Structure 1
Amino acid sequence: MQNTYAKTLNRSTLMFPLALVLFELATYICNDLIQPAMLPITQHFGVSTTLAPSAMSLYLLGGACVAWLFGPLSDRFGRKKVLLSGVLFFTVCCILILFTQSMTQFLLLRFLQGVGLTIVSAVGYAAVQESFQERDAVKVMALMTNISLLAPLLGPVLGAFLIDHISWHWGFIFIAIMSLISWYGLKRAMPEIPPSHQSQSLLELFKGFKAVYADHHFLSLAIALPMVVLPLMLWIAISPIILVDELGLTSLQYGLFQIPVFAGLILGNIVLIKIVDRYPLGKTIFAGFPIMLAGALIAAVGLFIPSLLLPLLLIGLTLISFGEGIAVSVVFRTAFSSSDRPKGTVAASMSMLNMLCFFSGIEIVRVLYSHFHIAAYIVASIVIILTWFTFPRRALIQEMQKRELAESNTSSV
């Protein structure tokens, strides 16, 4: 549903999403730059390397645990106030982690840093959807995704450089500076959209979330978002162990391996921007998931041909990321717009669903990896992608038919 504050995409209105994506880039690079350093960090604190993926899963869990609060707060007090407060909190956490003395303290600060992810998804994305007309919002989200993908492209290489030549501490200093610059840009460029709802009691708040999750059509559309993102998210979490520990790559080789993978995601987003105006909204999702499935199956072939495992894995992951690129922004918009509940609550509901799925998926695959190694990741990815072809696909068909009927009724009037 379009609101009266939605604008068209131009140079002046683009300044807000650019400031937001700088913070999104900081929250992503807070993971992608640090992941290559997790093996040395576990050694530094004298703990098992199997805890390395937990730095990412707890980061995601931290976001899930507070998502229920930030969305409704932004409905009550306005998106801008809540977003600016969250950016400052994330910055402080990045500074405090420099002083940790144990792995427990480190993981606790990673958990608290997860607030940054929630601020982006539950508040920032809602503000973007409200600030732009529908197809412009999809383009803005795709553009933001491309910029934020500098994190997984450059993060592993920069992380490897930090490990070999400086210290992982400097990564968090760099991230804190990025976050502060974003805070200033958001303060200057973010539009002021009046709060949409009055104060709610805790009971009313949870009733709002219950109503959102009770909408089976919305839930079927929303679950497609973790399905399209999780295969690559799992790869980010588990790849240091796979590539460095299991396959014997160096830290630099690990970083270089990721470049074509995330270049595929950028290419997918570019394709989406080019074609989104030509087809009914949602059409690219039907192409994205089959491409992802093809990539996962190609990677699976490498399990049976060990000599070709690395190249087949690289090709498969690149296809997975390309398929995600042409689908993910439309998946978000389709689910977000399908519910008539307050948009802060809707965005927070989607954020909690995503983060919990990400946390659960990473922890499950982390445990399975100790028994089945790389096969655990590849089989899990195939299962996740195949699941979309069941009830989420049917829900998408219903949503597109509903949109088509609404548009035909509007044109006939």
Structure 2
Amino acid sequence: MQTTPTTTLSRATLMFPLALVLFEFSVYIGNDLVQPAMLAITQDFGVSSSWAASSMSFYLLGGACVAAILGPLSDRLGRKKVLLGGVLFFVVTCLLILLTQNIESFLLLRFLQGFGLSVITAVGYAAIQESFAERDAIKVMALMANVSLLAPLLGPVLGAFMIEHVSWHWGFIGIAALAALSWLGLKAKMPEQQLSIPKQPIGYIWDDFKQVLKNRRFLTMTFALPLLSMPLMLWIALSPVMLVEQLGLSSLQYGLAQFPVLGGLIAGNLLLLKIIDRFALGQTVLMGLPLMLVGTLLLILGLLIPDYLIWCLILGMTFISFGEGISFSIIYRFALMSSEVSKGTVAATASVLMMLSFFVVIELVRMLYSHFELWAYSLSCFALIALWFAYPRLSLKQIMHERAESGQF
């Protein structure tokens, strides 16, 4: 195992998370800026608009495929070396996509750019969890989420601007420039990791993965994460088609429609920062999930009352995103700390399972959407949140009970 001393949250210790969140922002806007432009990109390549959602699913698949390597590698080489290498790779792939001539090569580069997601989740997040005490780590994650949420807020507006005034290629140039700036910040401010893992045969990596995958609590909390976040991921992937192509909104109206939805996620994260020290850890999740379920019911209600469809979509998604904001960071902490294996390997396993879940569900809902349109989207969101009220909720309450018995607040 690794023994990295934890630090308290202060202005000085925040410099590393701020440098990391700049890269996180670059990776996220690498999706949120590109998705609104996908209708124009598919037209440039002469393919159907149904390819639009594949840009996001291949991005996520790339993140899933490399996480299993990056986590254990960072356990042995150090988080900083792997993180800096991953940021540099992301910059290069953002520039190479400018040379693509067809949708196949475009999606291949999107797949490679998706490696950046695992650099964050399997390496960056693990470093945050190791560097700060429990509640401070959750606060840092919530703060990072708020900054990175500027990506989905600004992305649709910038994407709409690109569609109207400039080529989509400039988006990738800007993303590469931001990631390069993050590389400089991380090189200067990220602390060196103190390693205490003995050198062992490569087979021990697989043994570690098997130990993590045999942990039922880890699996429950990890699969609970995509159940929480998938409705918003589906919204980001499909809302350009739903709002612009199907409901007839302009590119600017589409961008403005994202503000209340993603503003709900920011509000949830800000509320979590204020109340996390007042409640038992996990209580805000039990508050957020009923709100998310109400949000999915509003999506269905909008389909039954077509005159209020857009309003129900936006309000329902705002409820869902707010509930996610007060829940996600805590469930992630519980998942990561449910195993005693080195945190790079645990984070890598969680990242692989989450990204694969995202890829499968987004592609499945994309195919269902081509036949059933908004009914497929709304009922999928309802099913995902409803599943949370089964075993994941019971497991969460068991964790909270054990913490209470051991005197942990």
Query: Paired residues, what number?
Result: 409
Q: Quote the offset at 1:320 in angstroms.
A: 0.4
CA distance in 2, matches of 1:313, 1:245: 15
TM-score (norm 2): 0.98
CA distance in 2, matches of 1:305, 1:127: 48
CA distance in 2, matches of 1:156, 1:196: 44
CA distance in 1, matches of 2:207, 2:125: 23
Q: Is the 8 A contact 1:75 1:196 kept in 2?
A: no
Query: Corresponding residue for 2:118?
Result: 118
Deviations 1:154-208 (A, max 9, x none): 1000000011001100000000000001000011111111224244544322221
Structure 2 segments unaligned to the other structure (5+ residues): none
SS at match of 1:81: helix
Deviations 1:322-370 (A, max 9, x none): 0000001111111111111110000001101110111011000000001
Q: Quote the offset at 1:405 in angstroms.
A: 2.1
Q: Is the 8 A contact 1:5 1:193 kept in 2?
A: no
CA distance in 2, matches of 1:383, 1:184: 43
Q: Is the 8 A contact 1:21 1:148 kept in 2?
A: yes
Cα RMSD (Å): 1.4
Question: What is the 5 A alignment of 1:81-100?
Answer: 81-100=81-100
Question: What is the 5 A alignment of 1:383-402?
Answer: 383-402=383-402
Query: Corresponding residue for 1:28?
Result: 28
Q: Is the 8 A contact 1:74 1:195 kept in 2?
A: no
AA aligned to 1:267 is A
Q: Is the 8 A contact 2:4 2:193 kept in 1?
A: no
Query: Corresponding residue for 1:371?
Result: 371
Q: Quote the offset at 1:113 in angstroms.
A: 0.2
Q: Quote the offset at 1:237 in angstroms.
A: 0.4
CA distance in 1, matches of 2:36, 2:109: 18
Q: Is the 8 A contact 2:2 2:342 kept in 1?
A: no
- Aligned in 2, Cα 1:199/1:382: closer, same or farther, shift over 3 Å? farther
CA distance in 1, matches of 2:252, 2:4: 50
CA distance in 1, matches of 2:37, 2:200: 43
Q: Is the 8 A contact 1:68 1:352 kept in 2?
A: yes
Structure 1 segments unaligned to the other structure (5+ residues): none
CA distance in 2, matches of 1:107, 1:407: 50
Deviations 1:76-134 (A, max 9, x none): 01100000000000000000001111111100000000010000000000000001010
Q: Is the 8 A contact 2:2 2:197 kept in 1?
A: no
Query: Corresponding residue for 2:131?
Result: 131
Is residue 356 of structure 2 the alignment partner of residue 347 of structure 1? no
Q: Quote the offset at 1:398 in angstroms.
A: 1.4
AA aligned to 1:21 is V
Query: Corresponding residue for 1:80?
Result: 80
CA distance in 1, matches of 2:200, 2:364: 36
CA distance in 1, matches of 2:148, 2:340: 29
Deviations 1:240-268 (A, max 9, x none): 11011111111111111111100000000
Query: Corresponding residue for 2:107?
Result: 107
AA aligned to 1:365 is V
CA distance in 1, matches of 2:204, 2:42: 43
Q: Is the 8 A contact 1:95 1:173 kept in 2?
A: yes
Deviations 1:382-410 (A, max 9, x none): 111111111111111111122222227xx
- Aligned in 2, Cα 1:196/1:355: closer, same or farther, shift over 3 Å? farther
- Aligned in 2, Cα 1:201/1:78: closer, same or farther, shift over 3 Å? same
Question: What is the 5 A alignment of 1:41-80?
Answer: 41-80=41-80
